[in-house]
């Protein structure tokens, strides 16, 4: 059985991606958006083909639990 697609996409291993955590959510910030307006600050996920993608030097993806926001403690 094939694995499901990654809900984050390229951002998970991109050197320009940063995670922004709030008490209820996790958002993916593109740091290229600070100097290059063609890149959205918070891209729609999953990102499958980004012209600005550069692999992170350590290739360790940042932690997150969902495509755009991870809900914690809802019940």
Asked if pLDDT for residue 31 goes beyond 90, the answer is: yes
Asked if pLDDT for residue 69 goes beyond 80, the answer is: no
What is the overall mean pLDDT for the chain? Answer: 83
3-state secondary structure the chain: CCCCCCCCEHHHHECCEEEEECCCCEEEEEHHHHCCCCCCCCCCCCECCCCCCCECCCCCCCCCCCCCCCCCCCC
pTM score over 0.85 = no
Asked if pLDDT for residue 61 goes beyond 80, the answer is: no
Q: How many folded domains does the chain comprise?
A: 1
Give the structural domain span for 68: 1-75
Asked if pLDDT for residue 70 goes beyond 70, the answer is: no
The more confidently predicted of residues 38 and 61 is 38
Q: Tell which residue, 24, 34, 33, 13, has the closest CA to residue 68.
A: 24
């Amino acid at each position: 059985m094939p694995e499901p697609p990654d809900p984050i996409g390229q951002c998970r291993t991109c050197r320009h991606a940063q995670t922004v955590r709030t008490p209820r959510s996790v958002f993916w910030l593109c740091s290229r958006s600070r100097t290059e307006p063609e890149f959205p600050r918070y891209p729609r996920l999953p990102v499958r083909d980004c012209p600005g993608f550069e692999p992170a030097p350590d290739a360790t993806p940042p932690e997150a639990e969902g495509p755009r926001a991870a809900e914690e403690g809802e019940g």
